Amino acid sequence: MLRNMAIRHRITAAYVILALVLCAVFSSAVLVTFKTVERELIEKRLGLEFDRFLERKRQGRAAELPVGVQFLQAATIPVPILNLPAGLHEVTIGEQSFHVLVRMVAGERLVLVEDTSQFEQIEATRLMALAAAIVACLLLALFLGRITSSRVIAPLKDLADAVQLGIAPQAFPSLNSTDEIGVLARALATRAANLDQFLVRERLFTGDVSHELRTPLTIILGAAELLVANLKDRPKLEPVAERIRRVTVDTTERVAALLLLSRSPEVLDTRLTALSPLIRQELERCAPLLNDRPVTTRLDVKDEVWVLARPELVSIAIGNLLRNACQYTERGTVTVRLETNRIVIEDSGVGLPESVRSRLFERFVRGHNESITGSGLGLSIVKRVVEHLGWDIQLEDSPGGGSHFTLLIQAS
């Protein structure tokens, strides 16, 4: 439970728990000591009164007892204390409390009884005072814990606020401190600086690669379109040229999408995008992957769904999932269901082994079908795109086998 509490509350709780333990130990020691001393003193005092009373009685002198003390024997002994063994006892009769000292003298049971009702009231008052002292100690511990915790975690809170607000690493507080907070601040500053450099390098690399690929892709696309236009009289070669042109167009779009992915989501100019046309487009692109296998594709759309996102990024996410479904399905159906807040892509293929499911969205993780070539990057790219869009992706169990992916989207 303490693990889920804020550090300030943990420190305060530690103070209160420590005070509670100390109060419990101290109170137990006090009560045990009081009871032990009280019993020994009462037993000794009553024993002396008992001996004095019997001695005066043997001497024929008047046997007087202190106020509240009675001497009982034979028929005068009440039933509640009639069968008590020899020794000192505490007995309550009705609303009165008594100390009872029982002795056997010459085979006769003799009892000395002292009314302790007033003493019990004093003891109850003492216990109430002890309880009040314990409550006061706990309140004091709570007060000191809150004050101390505020002072202790103040540097840590300043550091946490600086990290949360995105302050530059070189401006982190406590960087020059020699305590543990200073060590943590310097470690966080170094880590943040390294991450910033890594992100800058990654964005520059992605932008440079995208820029450098545009020129050769444009040349390939122009050549492919020229081939398509000049092969009208050679129908056997025309599909090949058309496929080159289509793949080049797809690659160009993917390069542009990756360039968008390298930017922060908040700086992108998003637009309202209809999902069903994108899904149909990706299904058409995946048709050549089926290679005349007995696999049918089906799109189930009840109502059009619009999202606020760049269509290039949405196409990457849906396209990668559809390509995997088509590649790993030997026969059966690849189904896409478009619903209000989700896109479901399921197939009747071989499915995914348990050893892969837990690491499915990691880079270079592939299924067990070695006959299908691939880098194992597709699903990791999907995961990155989905997070960039503010969506979520889930792999669910499919009762009929195969894979069942669900994209949880934010419809507009």
Q: Tens digits of per-residue pLDDT, 54-94?
A: 878 777 777 677 777 888 887 788 888 888 888 888 888 87
**pLDDT reported for residue 374:** 47
What average pLDDT does the segment 4-15 reach?
A: 81
Q: Is the dihedral of CA 336, 337, 343, 349 positive or negative?
A: negative
**pLDDT reported for residue 301:** 92
- Residue at token pair 């006959």: 371
- The closest of 254, 265, 267 to 206, measured between CA atoms, is 254
Where is 297: in which H helix or E strand? strand 295-301
Q: Is the dihedral of CA 27, 29, 31, 34 positive or negative?
A: negative
Q: Please give the order of strands across the beta sheet that includes 96-105.
A: 69-73, 108-115, 96-105, 87-93
Where is 245: in which H helix or E strand? helix 238-261
Coil/strand/helix, residue 96: strand
Q: Is the pLDDT of residue 199 over 80?
A: no
- The closest of 398, 238, 404 to 321, measured between CA atoms, is 404
Coil/strand/helix, residue 404: strand
Q: Considering the entire predicted model, what is its pTM?
A: 0.51
Q: Which residues contact 31 (CB under 8 A, 6 or more apart)?
A: 130
The two three-digit tokens of residue 34, written as one number: 């009081």
